[in-house]
Amino acid sequence: MLHLHTLWFVVIAVFWVGFFVLEGFDFGVGMLHQLVGRTERERELAVSTIGPWWDGNEVWLIVAGAGTFAAFPQWYATMFSSLYLALLIALVALMARGVSIEYATKREDPAWRRRWRWALTSSSALLPLLFGIALGDLLHGLPIDSSHEYTGSFWDLLTPYGIWTGLTLLGLCVLQGATFLKLRMTGELRARAATLGRPAGWAAVALVLGWVIWTRALGGQDVPQPVEVLALIAVVAAALLVTGEHDGWAFTSSSVAIASCVGSIFIDLYPNVMISSTNTAYNLTVSNAASGGYALKVMTIVAVVLVPVVLLYQGWSFHVFRQRVGSAARSEDGAGPAAAAERTAT
Chain-centroid distance of CA 106 in Å reads 28
pLDDT tens-digit profile of 104-141? 888 888 899 999 999 999 999 999 999 999 999 999 99
- The answer to whether 82 and 152 have CB atoms below 8 angstroms apart is yes
pLDDT tens-digit profile of 39-68? 999 999 999 999 888 888 888 999 999 999
Q: Is the pLDDT of residue 74 over 80?
A: yes
Query: Does pTM top 0.85 for this prediction?
Result: yes
pLDDT tens-digit profile of 232-267? 999 999 999 999 899 999 999 999 999 999 999 999
What is residue 108's predicted lDDT score, i.e. its pLDDT?
A: 87
Q: Is the pLDDT of residue 82 over 60?
A: yes
| 3-state secondary structure at position 208 | helix
Instruction: Determine the Cα–Cα distance for residues 322 and 80; give it in Å rounded to an integer.
Output: 37
Would you call 311 exposed, middle or buried from its count of C-beta atoms within 10 A (0-12, 13-18, 19+)?
Answer: exposed
DSSP state of 3: -
User: For a pLDDT cut of 70, what percent of the chain falls above it?
Assistant: 94
Chain-centroid distance of CA 204 in Å reads 15
The whole-chain average pLDDT of the chain stands at: 90
Q: Is the pLDDT of residue 212 over 50?
A: yes
- The answer to whether 227 and 178 have CB atoms below 8 angstroms apart is no
What is residue 2's predicted lDDT score, i.e. its pLDDT?
A: 62
Rounded to the nearest 10 degrees, the angle between the axes of helix 40-48 and helix 187-218 is 60
What's the domain range around 241?
4-345
What number is the average pLDDT over the span 207-229? 91
What number is the average pLDDT over the span 19-30? 95
Helix (H) or strand (E) holding 284: strand 284-285
Phi, psi at residue 25, to the nearest 5°?
A: -75, -30
CATH code of the domain containing 136 = 1.20.1630.10
Q: How confident is the model at residue 327 (pLDDT cuts 50, 70, 90)?
A: low
What is residue 336's predicted lDDT score, i.e. its pLDDT?
A: 54
What is residue 317's predicted lDDT score, i.e. its pLDDT?
A: 87
CA angle 197, 199, 201 (to 5 degrees): 60
| Nearest by Cα to 27 from 50, 52, 61 | 50
Domain count, the chain: 1
Q: Is the pLDDT of residue 332 over 60?
A: no
DSSP string, 84-130: HHHHHHHHHHHHHHHHHHHHTTS---HHHHHHHHHHHHHHHHHHHHH
Instruction: Determine the Cα–Cα distance for residues 132 and 145; give it in Å rounded to an integer.
Output: 24
- The answer to whether 103 and 116 have CB atoms below 8 angstroms apart is yes
The b-or-e profile of 224-245 (16+ CB within 10 A means b, else e) is bbebbebbbebbbbbbbbbeee
| Nearest by Cα to 116 from 25, 177, 43 | 43
Q: Is the pLDDT of residue 334 over 70?
A: no
